[in-house]
C-alpha cells in the first residue's frame, strides 16, 4: 500500500504532494507556490484533507514546468499562456459543436 495515495477507492486518482513532487520532479515548495498563484489547485482544502492533487493537476504542473524551463516564462507569462490555451480549447470545442461533431 502506498502511503502517498489515499486508501478509499473514490479517491484512487488523488495523489499526496509528496507523490506529485516525485512524479513531476518539482519541489513541494514550488508546487505550493503554483497553488498560491492559482496555476494549479488541490482537489480539496489543504487544511481539511492535506495537499491532494488529481491527474489533471499533475498534467498542468508538467505543462507549467515546460513553459518555464523551455521558454523561460515567469509566473505572469505562464498564467497568460495557460489562459490563452484554455480559451483556444473552448473555441475549438465550440467549432466542433457547431459542425456537429
pLDDT tens digits for range 26-37: 999 999 999 999
- For the entire predicted model, the pTM comes to 0.78
CA atoms within 13 A on the CB side of 49: 16
Share of the chain above pLDDT 70, in %: 87
CA distance 3 to 37: 28
Class of CATH domain 9-99: mainly alpha
CA distances 73 to 6, 49, 64, 87, Å, are: 34, 31, 9, 19
Mean pLDDT of the 79-89 span: 95
Coarse DSSP helix, strand, coil percentages of the chain, rounded to the nearest 5 percent: 65, 5, 30
Can you say how many angstroms the Cα of residue 94 is from the centroid of all Cα atoms in its chain? 24
Mean pLDDT of the 26-51 span: 94
The count of residues in the chain is 101
Question: What is the residue extent of each domain of the chain?
Answer: 9-99
Amino acid at each position: 500500500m502506498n502511503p502517498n495515495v489515499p486508501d478509499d477507492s473514490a479517491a484512487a486518482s488523488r495523489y499526496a504532494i509528496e507523490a506529485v513532487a516525485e512524479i513531476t520532479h518539482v519541489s513541494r515548495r514550488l508546487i505550493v507556490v503554483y497553488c498560491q498563484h492559482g496555476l494549479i489547485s488541490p482537489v480539496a482544502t489543504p487544511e481539511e484533507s492535506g495537499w491532494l492533487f488529481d491527474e489533471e493537476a499533475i498534467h498542468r504542473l508538467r505543462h507549467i514546468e515546460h513553459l518555464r524551463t523551455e521558454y523561460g516564462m515567469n509566473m505572469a507569462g505562464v498564467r497568460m499562456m495557460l489562459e490563452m490555451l484554455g480559451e483556444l480549447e473552448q473555441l475549438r470545442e465550440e467549432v466542433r459543436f457547431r459542425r456537429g461533431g
